Chain A
């Protein structure tokens, strides 16, 4: 049961490391939930968690190691007070994108299952 999300997270991570595309956080949760989700809410949670975990961990790691200067400047650019709030914003973007893709994944499966019946 836990294996599914772990595979999903690892896949997102790998694809993000080797390609510059951001939308893997939608594509992978979508496919993942076509396979595993049990309800729309479940799809959202799984998608949001997988995408959110990857982007949260990555931005947190970067912020703590080498990206604090740029985070402060970009925060300033977007009229946000503190650089670390960008970690939350980044994770939030991933949660929304991954979650919505995840629930769509479940519902497309639901339709197929229904049509079969």
Chain B
């Protein structure tokens, strides 16, 4: 009996232990993936290895109409040769999915407000914000427009078929690592997802929402001072269209309503305004100024830096097309690139295409809202947000004729910039077919083709620089812009008064443009695009002038431009802001009042060349000093009882220092005495030195700019092990070579047109999105060093045969 009992006991204990082991290993716990699956050498993370770098020689893809050849070069860039458009974009979809599937799906899930499905309840408020903003509504409208055109319809469907062909053959063990970490599976790709991705870019590049700070500032300090401290046109601006250009048209502009509107409520947040916004540089030089006699086009797109990279490099060769450049995984075609005849590059236009209208609902049912003294009905859109491990949430969005009311008056917005109780009017919600514009640009061979292509381009508005082998260099401020009365859209608008509505669009033939100018170059750097004579009112988030000025200064000086000189120019880190302000600030310092440490910093600054190099100490000292100086200058002027206004940007402070040193802004209102610029300069200098020593110790190599600032490239899931951190890069947010914490040149390209087109490129990432691949982040170190790769622009599949290029043949069903 006793023995019987002990056997049972042992059995039960061993069974419980085995069950515990199974439970512990089979299920995920908190943030941890299910360990049994994850470490299983046969299908867990061990399989996310370099096997994805081994390219198949032959692949059967039944969906193809003909065979396709992909030539992979030594950097894992695919050159896709197809005989028709269908096969070309199908193969591009396949290749994008092969290298970037997880990223493509994750990004579109994020836009659609579906992160709770894969991450859990933490993402609910994010998702709700995405749903309410109407991304699905926008994508559906875009998809309808894209489907109405037979060309884009074919291309989008072929692209989706290519992605799905990859998903259908994907073995469990080869699921990208992130699926295994989060324990979910890819779903079929659809053209709607491509539309969502386009809307993601549209929002990212046009949602600069400053209605709250502007409205609040107007109330607190008056409209005149508001526009002095937060001007639309930045001081010393050099417009994209050279000053002196005349505009031979006299449009009838909408009339400004007589009575000013003051909104009822302004939610408490939303004062943040970054020193930098997503921007970029582009320029084109005519053959008159180049060594080869043919135009050169350069572009570097400044965006948040991420891994897997936003961009994917590829070449597409098909019927009447041979284009090379950067594509967005998830969308067909080449976004920034070149072909044999032309090259083009993008910078963000920054012109405001998004306004907020305060809505008056009739009652709590929110079924009616006021418009011109009458009650008119709202429509509703119901969303179901599915949540991992929890019950789904049903959410309602109310739509007015402006657009969705993103947050109701009593709600607290997840995105603090969004004003509660307001409807969103955004060109991104309107039907548009940017994909067609891109496809036509890919096939363009001259300026006329460019004109047709960009006239179809609506949102996000871009400055599209263009150069052709024929010798044309042009730059248009492309997009669909509302025709506004002066000041319209700067503040929260009256949603019940139709005089505040948008009344038509700036005609395409009137949008700012520059064609083959006398100075033999065109350039843009996110600045306000035109001079004072331009008849339309443009509102927007335009960046301070220094970067654009520096580009123009250097380009004006060049006569025999070579691609190598252009590389140096893209990597230029001379800061005109520091050059203008540092000597003046130093001149206000009473050096007799400085101690030994402070004198050392003083000497460092006097000897600084105003270049933001990673190894220099000057930029760090100036950066710290500038922060202290601005805080001491402004905080007493912009802080109020219940809110504070954003800090005026650097160019406004610089204007005061250089041109109005007697300004009352330098007086600290919180003290009894009257401070002058000398006091502020000395106080902030001393504070700067003690803070530097406190943060970084006595002056040493730890003070180097590259170490203090550092640049991060962050994985989409913010997993540190999958990103690159603290890269010692040159540059600041005011230099041509833009660098901020996790922000910088996301794609650099130089194209020399001519009888044989040549291109150079680099981006901070790698072609593969698989963290176990040798191509995951292999460009990063060269990117930090400011290096470029000469691209292989192929004409036939036999080009450069015998080199270390691999060929994959995709066979169709027949």
Which residues of A does B touch, CB under 8 Å? 16-17, 20, 22-23, 26, 30, 40, 55, 58-59, 62-63, 66-67, 69-71, 73-74, 76-77, 86, 89-90, 93, 96-97, 100-101, 103-104, 107-108, 110-111, 114
- If A55-B41, A73-B772 touch, whether A103 touches B7 (CB-CB below 8 Å) is no
> Min CB distance, A89 to chain B, in Å?
7
> Min CB distance, A103 to chain B, in Å?
5
> Min CB distance, B181 to chain A, in Å?
8
Please report the C-alpha to C-alpha distance between residue A59 and residue B11 in the assembled complex, in whole angstroms: 32
Known A-B contacts: A58-B41, A70-B48. Give 17 more (CB < 8 A).
A22-B36, A22-B40, A23-B36, A59-B39, A62-B41, A63-B46, A69-B771, A73-B721, A76-B721, A90-B46, A93-B25, A93-B39, A97-B21, A101-B21, A103-B14, A110-B11, A111-B8
Please report the C-alpha to C-alpha distance between residue A31 and residue B719 in the assembled complex, in whole angstroms: 40
In the bound complex, do residue B15 and residue A107 qualify as a contact, i.e. CB atoms below 8 Å apart? Answer: yes
In the bound complex, do residue B46 and residue A20 qualify as a contact, i.e. CB atoms below 8 Å apart? Answer: no
Q: Is the interface of A mostly helix, strand, loop or mixed?
A: helix
In the bound complex, do residue B35 and residue A93 qualify as a contact, i.e. CB atoms below 8 Å apart? Answer: yes
Q: Which of B1-53 contact A (CB under 8 A)?
A: 3-4, 7-8, 10-11, 14-15, 17-18, 21-22, 25-26, 35-37, 39-51
In the bound complex, do residue A58 and residue B46 qualify as a contact, i.e. CB atoms below 8 Å apart? Answer: yes
User: Which A residues lie within 8 Å of B50 (CB)?
Assistant: 66-67, 69
Tally the A-B contacts, defined by beta carbons under 8 Å.
123
Q: Which residue of B lies closest to A43 (CB)?
A: B14
In the bound complex, do residue A20 and residue B17 qualify as a contact, i.e. CB atoms below 8 Å apart? Answer: no
Please report the C-alpha to C-alpha distance between residue A101 and residue B9 in the assembled complex, in whole angstroms: 16
In the bound complex, do residue A74 and residue B11 qualify as a contact, i.e. CB atoms below 8 Å apart? Answer: no
User: Which B residues lie within 8 Å of A22 (CB)?
Assistant: 25-26, 36-37, 40, 42-44
In the bound complex, do residue A97 and residue B36 qualify as a contact, i.e. CB atoms below 8 Å apart? Answer: yes
In the bound complex, do residue B15 and residue A104 qualify as a contact, i.e. CB atoms below 8 Å apart? Answer: yes
User: Which B residues lie within 8 Å of A40 (CB)?
Assistant: 10, 14
Contact of A96 among B4, B11, B21, B49 (CB under 8 A): B21
User: Which A residues lie within 8 Å of B35 (CB)?
Assistant: 93
In the bound complex, do residue B18 and residue A26 qualify as a contact, i.e. CB atoms below 8 Å apart? Answer: yes
Please report the C-alpha to C-alpha distance between residue A26 and residue B20 in the assembled complex, in whole angstroms: 12
In the bound complex, do residue B41 and residue A70 qualify as a contact, i.e. CB atoms below 8 Å apart? Answer: no
Please report the C-alpha to C-alpha distance between residue A5 and residue B205 in the assembled complex, in whole angstroms: 62
User: Which A residues lie within 8 Å of B11 (CB)?
Assistant: 104, 107-108, 110-111
User: Which A residues lie within 8 Å of B171 (CB)?
Assistant: 20
> Min CB distance, A74 to chain B, in Å?
5
Contact of B45 among A55, A58, A70, A97 (CB under 8 A): A70
> Min CB distance, B64 to chain A, in Å?
29
Query: B411 at interface (Cβ–Cβ under 8 A)?
Result: no
In the bound complex, do residue B43 and residue A76 qualify as a contact, i.e. CB atoms below 8 Å apart? Answer: no
Please report the C-alpha to C-alpha distance between residue A96 and residue B23 in the assembled complex, in whole angstroms: 13
User: Which B residues lie within 8 Å of A16 (CB)?
Assistant: 40, 42-43
> Min CB distance, A44 to chain B, in Å?
8
Please report the C-alpha to C-alpha distance between residue A114 and residue B177 in the assembled complex, in whole angstroms: 48
In the bound complex, do residue B25 and residue A17 qualify as a contact, i.e. CB atoms below 8 Å apart? Answer: no
In the bound complex, do residue B21 and residue A62 qualify as a contact, i.e. CB atoms below 8 Å apart? Answer: no
Q: Which residue of B lies closest to A101 (CB)?
A: B18
> Min CB distance, A43 to chain B, in Å?
8
Show 25 A/B contacts (Cβ-Cβ < 8 Å), sorted by A: A16-B43, A22-B40, A22-B44, A26-B18, A30-B18, A40-B14, A55-B40, A62-B49, A66-B49, A66-B51, A67-B48, A67-B772, A69-B773, A69-B774, A74-B721, A77-B722, A89-B39, A97-B36, A103-B14, A104-B14, A104-B17, A104-B18, A110-B10, A111-B7, A114-B4
User: Which B residues lie within 8 Å of A86 (CB)?
Assistant: 39
Query: B65 at interface (Cβ–Cβ under 8 A)?
Result: no
Q: Which residue of B lies closest to A70 (CB)?
A: B772
Q: Which of B720-753 contact A (CB under 8 A)?
A: 720-722
Query: B172 at interface (Cβ–Cβ under 8 A)?
Result: yes
User: Which A residues lie within 8 Å of B3 (CB)?
Assistant: 114
In the bound complex, do residue A107 and residue B7 qualify as a contact, i.e. CB atoms below 8 Å apart? Answer: yes
User: Which B residues lie within 8 Å of A73 (CB)?
Assistant: 721-722, 771-772
User: Which A residues lie within 8 Å of B604 (CB)?
Assistant: none
Query: B366 at interface (Cβ–Cβ under 8 A)?
Result: no
> Min CB distance, B359 to chain A, in Å?
46
User: Which A residues lie within 8 Å of B720 (CB)?
Assistant: 76-77
Q: Which residue of A lies closest to B175 (CB)?
A: A20
In the bound complex, do residue A20 and residue B172 qualify as a contact, i.e. CB atoms below 8 Å apart? Answer: yes
> Min CB distance, A70 to chain B, in Å?
3
Query: B173 at interface (Cβ–Cβ under 8 A)?
Result: yes
Q: Which residue of A lies closest to B39 (CB)?
A: A90
Q: Which residue of B lies closest to A76 (CB)?
A: B721
In the bound complex, do residue A23 and residue B26 qualify as a contact, i.e. CB atoms below 8 Å apart? Answer: yes
Please report the C-alpha to C-alpha distance between residue A98 and residue B4 in the assembled complex, in whole angstroms: 26
Please report the C-alpha to C-alpha distance between residue A69 and residue B18 in the assembled complex, in whole angstroms: 33
Closest 8 CB pairs of A and B: A70-B772, A76-B721, A58-B41, A107-B11, A20-B172, A67-B49, A22-B40, A77-B721
User: Which A residues lie within 8 Å of B173 (CB)?
Assistant: 20
User: Which B residues lie within 8 Å of A89 (CB)?
Assistant: 39
Please report the C-alpha to C-alpha distance between residue A36 and residue B232 in the assembled complex, in whole angstroms: 83
Q: Count chain A CB atoms within 10 A of each CB in B4, B25, B51 and give the residue with the most.
A: B25
User: Which A residues lie within 8 Å of B17 (CB)?
Assistant: 100, 103-104
Please report the C-alpha to C-alpha distance between residue A72 and residue B39 in the assembled complex, in whole angstroms: 14
In the bound complex, do residue A74 and residue B14 qualify as a contact, i.e. CB atoms below 8 Å apart? Answer: no
Contact of A90 among B41, B47, B51 (CB under 8 A): B41
In the bound complex, do residue A100 and residue B18 qualify as a contact, i.e. CB atoms below 8 Å apart? Answer: yes
User: Which A residues lie within 8 Å of B8 (CB)?
Assistant: 111
Please report the C-alpha to C-alpha distance between residue A103 and residue B11 in the assembled complex, in whole angstroms: 8
Please report the C-alpha to C-alpha distance between residue A101 and residue B173 in the assembled complex, in whole angstroms: 24
- If A26-B18, A114-B7 touch, whether A70 touches B49 (CB-CB below 8 Å) is yes
Please report the C-alpha to C-alpha distance between residue A66 and residue B47 in the assembled complex, in whole angstroms: 9
Please report the C-alpha to C-alpha distance between residue A70 and residue B49 in the assembled complex, in whole angstroms: 6
Please report the C-alpha to C-alpha distance between residue A104 and residue B145 in the assembled complex, in whole angstroms: 64
> Min CB distance, B17 to chain A, in Å?
5
In the bound complex, do residue B722 and residue A23 qualify as a contact, i.e. CB atoms below 8 Å apart? Answer: no
Please report the C-alpha to C-alpha distance between residue A76 and residue B171 in the assembled complex, in whole angstroms: 26
Please report the C-alpha to C-alpha distance between residue A103 and residue B7 in the assembled complex, in whole angstroms: 12
Q: Which residue of B lies closest to A57 (CB)?
A: B41
Please report the C-alpha to C-alpha distance between residue A16 and residue B11 in the assembled complex, in whole angstroms: 27
> Min CB distance, B282 to chain A, in Å?
35
User: Which A residues lie within 8 Å of B722 (CB)?
Assistant: 73, 77
> Min CB distance, B24 to chain A, in Å?
9
User: Which A residues lie within 8 Å of B25 (CB)?
Assistant: 22-23, 93, 97
User: Which B residues lie within 8 Å of A63 (CB)?
Assistant: 46
Please report the C-alpha to C-alpha distance between residue A71 and residue B40 in the assembled complex, in whole angstroms: 13
User: Which A residues lie within 8 Å of B51 (CB)?
Assistant: 66
User: Which B residues lie within 8 Å of A97 (CB)?
Assistant: 18, 21-22, 25, 36
> Min CB distance, B723 to chain A, in Å?
10
Please report the C-alpha to C-alpha distance between residue A46 and residue B454 in the assembled complex, in whole angstroms: 71
Q: Which residue of B lies closest to A12 (CB)?
A: B42
Q: Which residue of B lies closest to A115 (CB)?
A: B4
Please report the C-alpha to C-alpha distance between residue A114 and residue B1 in the assembled complex, in whole angstroms: 11
User: Which A residues lie within 8 Å of B40 (CB)?
Assistant: 16, 20, 22, 55
In the bound complex, do residue A69 and residue B41 qualify as a contact, i.e. CB atoms below 8 Å apart? Answer: no
In the bound complex, do residue A58 and residue B721 qualify as a contact, i.e. CB atoms below 8 Å apart? Answer: no
> Min CB distance, B366 to chain A, in Å?
46
> Min CB distance, A55 to chain B, in Å?
6
In the bound complex, do residue A77 and residue B49 qualify as a contact, i.e. CB atoms below 8 Å apart? Answer: no
Q: Which residue of A lies closest to B44 (CB)?
A: A22
Please report the C-alpha to C-alpha distance between residue A71 and residue B794 in the assembled complex, in whole angstroms: 36
Please report the C-alpha to C-alpha distance between residue A71 and residue B46 in the assembled complex, in whole angstroms: 7
User: Which B residues lie within 8 Å of A74 (CB)?
Assistant: 45, 721
Please report the C-alpha to C-alpha distance between residue A100 and residue B22 in the assembled complex, in whole angstroms: 10
Please report the C-alpha to C-alpha distance between residue A40 and residue B719 in the assembled complex, in whole angstroms: 43
Q: Which of B155-184 contact A (CB under 8 A)?
A: 171-173, 177
> Min CB distance, A83 to chain B, in Å?
11
In the bound complex, do residue A107 and residue B36 qualify as a contact, i.e. CB atoms below 8 Å apart? Answer: no
Please report the C-alpha to C-alpha distance between residue A110 and residue B9 in the assembled complex, in whole angstroms: 12
